């Protein structure tokens, strides 16, 4: 190959390098163009309204509270599903919340992001939620431009681009142009440019991708590098009481006993939460750079690492970490995976979402040896095992699935709410 390249170079010199490059070095590729989207405050600080049930279109995170499932419609709001009968779930309403991605619930109050604002909504009547409080600029995870507003994400357009090899962008998987980003479509398929509580009787249950969680009467939210603490003991008040600097690239938040586990691009952070107003860092378990959800059971942490542009990582694996000594977490074993996203665990059985590679059920009674119990070909991103039941909620590209997991070798599908066509 080197000899061939040298020969081409010599030919180019002899016949005019510019002409040779033009004739032989053009590359036509398919790209996704990500154009930045900006929002001004007056565009999203609008009355929060509720409408009748609508179809899922672009489902995001899920949350379970009492007999209801709350499904985020990415950047648009929240679907409310009556799950009294898991075999016949019924979408009953939709709350319009621009810029919504995350949520948590306690005492009939839904806490949700509205781009940079944090909202508290009374959902005593789930068909008619009422805004209790808006905490402006509580979630400063968006870049601010004085003329355009908050940068909140990207719109996507598929384009075909021909690039000459004299162009400095020749051969690059992504590059900037006109304020946006061009990403080779093969790379863009995994690109992301987005942009169990200690008191389950009063709070709900979120998935492993959550950035909001509740412990006792405190709400915790994470931004790009910080964790904020709110006192929510008074249901119509959001009292911001502390901000803890964590580190860049933090992604997920998971409560366990009186500890908080934060998954980050570069590792797992463990915070002591015995004093809920002042979480203190106990330890950091470092790993290769990757996306990093985490769940914990019986002092064992299950951490997924996934490659992708947003995480700038190259690893796809499941790490099993001993956290019995919270100050000194230690790796038990790493198991190679295909493309792991969110997960849940019950009785040492891990339910692992692997994106386009499906849903896998793994027996990790022996943490050094992952035994596959079953495998399902559905595009999945996160899941929740409903506390006190044998029912698992699974959210994916195609919609919401519910499974009876009493037999882990043969999960029984109870219902499916599809994405609308």
| Mean pLDDT, residues 60-86 taken together | 97
Closest C-alpha among 87, 86, 95 to residue 68 = 86
Q: Which of the two residues, 117 and 2, has the higher pLDDT score?
A: 117
- How many CB atoms are closer than 10 A to CB 404? 16
Q: Which of 200-204, 357-361, 385-389 has the lowest mean pLDDT?
A: 200-204
Residues 85/88/93/95 CA torsion (nearest 10 deg) = 80
Cβ contacts of 320 within 8 Å, gap of 6 or more: 300, 301, 302, 303, 331, 332, 333, 334, 335, 364, 367, 368
pLDDT above 90: residue 205:
yes
State the average pLDDT over residues 338-365.
96
- Mean pLDDT computed over every residue of the chain: 84
The pLDDT assigned to 84 comes to: 97
Q: Does residue 8 register a pLDDT over 60?
A: no
Q: How many CA atoms lie within 13 A of 317 on its CB side?
A: 15
The segment with the largest mean pLDDT, out of 56-65, 199-208, 303-312, is 56-65
pLDDT for residue 1 is more than 50: no
| pLDDT over 50 at 40, yes or no | yes
> Is 192 a residue whose pLDDT tops 50?
no
pLDDT digits (tens, 9 = 90+) for 164-186: 777 766 666 666 666 666 666 65
Domain ranges of the chain: 33-195
Q: What is the pTM of this model?
A: 0.81
Higher pLDDT, 235 or 242: 242
Q: What is the mean pLDDT of residues 130-152?
A: 75
- Pick from 26-30, 225-229, 359-363, 400-404: least confident: 26-30
| Residue 105 binned pLDDT confidence (cut-offs 50, 70, 90) | very high
Answer yes or no: is pLDDT of 3 > 60. no
Report whether pLDDT(196) > 50.
no
Q: Which of 113-117, 201-205, 310-314 has the lowest mean pLDDT?
A: 310-314
- pLDDT reported for residue 162: 72
Lowest mean pLDDT among 14-23, 151-160, 296-305, 380-389: 14-23
Residue 234 has pLDDT above 60, yes or no: yes
Percent of the chain at pLDDT > 70 equals 77
Among the listed ranges 30-34, 326-330, 351-355, 407-411, which one has the minimum average pLDDT value? Answer: 30-34
Q: What percent of the chain has pLDDT over 90?
A: 64
Q: Is the pLDDT of residue 9 over 70?
A: no
CA–centroid distance for 421 within its chain = 24
Span 256-273, average pLDDT: 93
Report the alpha-carbon distance of residue 241 to residue 323 in Å, rounded. Answer: 28
pLDDT value for 219: 97
Can you tell me the mean pLDDT for 158-169? 70
Residue 92: how many CB atoms within 10 A of its CB? 14
Residues 251, 265 contacting (CB under 8 angstroms): yes
Q: What pLDDT was estimated at residue 197?
A: 39
Is the pLDDT confidence value at 149 over 60?
Answer: yes
Nearest to 261 by CA among 216, 229, 213: 213
**What CA–CA distances, in Å, run from 163 to 20, 179, 180, 189?**
15, 19, 17, 21
């Amino acid at each position: 190959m080197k000899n061939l390249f040298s020969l081409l170079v010599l030919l180019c010199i002899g016949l005019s390098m510019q002409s040779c490059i033009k004739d032989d070095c053009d590359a036509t590729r398919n790209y996704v163009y990500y154009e930045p989207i900006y929002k001004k405050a007056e565009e999203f600080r609008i009355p929060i309204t509720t409408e009748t049930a609508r179809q899922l279109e672009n489902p995001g995170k899920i949350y379970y509270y009492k007999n209801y499932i709350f499904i985020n419609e990415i950047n648009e709001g929240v679907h409310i599903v009556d799950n009294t009968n898991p075999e016949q779930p019924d979408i009953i309403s939709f709350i319009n919340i621009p810029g919504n991605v995350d949520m948590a619930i306690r005492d009939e109050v839904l806490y949700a992001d509205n781009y940079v604002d944090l909202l508290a909504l009374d959902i005593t009547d789930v068909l008619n939620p009422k805004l209790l409080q808006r905490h402006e600029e509580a979630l400063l995870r968006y870049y601010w431009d004085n003329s355009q507003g908050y940068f909140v994400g990207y719109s996507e357009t598929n384009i075909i681009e021909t690039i000459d090899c004299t162009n400095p962008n020749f051969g690059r998987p992504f590059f900037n142009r006109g304020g946006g980003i061009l990403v080779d479509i093969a790379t863009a398929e995994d690109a992301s440019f987005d942009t169990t509580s200690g008191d389950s009787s009063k709070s709900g249950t979120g998935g492993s991708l959550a950035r909001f969680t509740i412990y006792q009467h405190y709400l915790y939210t994470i931004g790009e590098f910080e964790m904020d603490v709110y006192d929510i003991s008074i249901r119509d008040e959001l009292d911001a009481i502390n901000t803890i600097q964590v580190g860049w690239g933090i992604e997920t938040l998971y409560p366990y006993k009186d500890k908080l586990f934060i998954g980050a691009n570069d590792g797992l952070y463990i915070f002591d939460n015995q004093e809920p107003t002042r979480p203190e860092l106990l330890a950091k378990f470092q790993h290769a750079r990757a996306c990093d959800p985490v769940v914990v059971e019986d002092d064992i942490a299950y951490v997924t690492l996934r490659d992708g542009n947003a995480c700038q990582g190259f690893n796809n694996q499941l790490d099993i970490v001993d956290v019995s000594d919270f100050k000194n977490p230690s790796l038990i074993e790493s198991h190679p995976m295909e493309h792991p996203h969110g997960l849940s665990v019950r009785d040492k059985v891990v339910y692992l979402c692997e994106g386009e590679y499906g849903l896998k059920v793994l027996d990790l009674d022996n943490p050094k040896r992952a035994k596959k119990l079953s495998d399902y070909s559905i595009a999945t991103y996160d899941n929740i095992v409903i506390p006190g039941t044998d029912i698992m909620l699974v959210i994916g590209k195609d919609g919401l699935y519910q499974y009876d997991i009493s037999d882990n070798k043969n999960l029984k599908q109870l219902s499916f709410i599809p994405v609308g066509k």
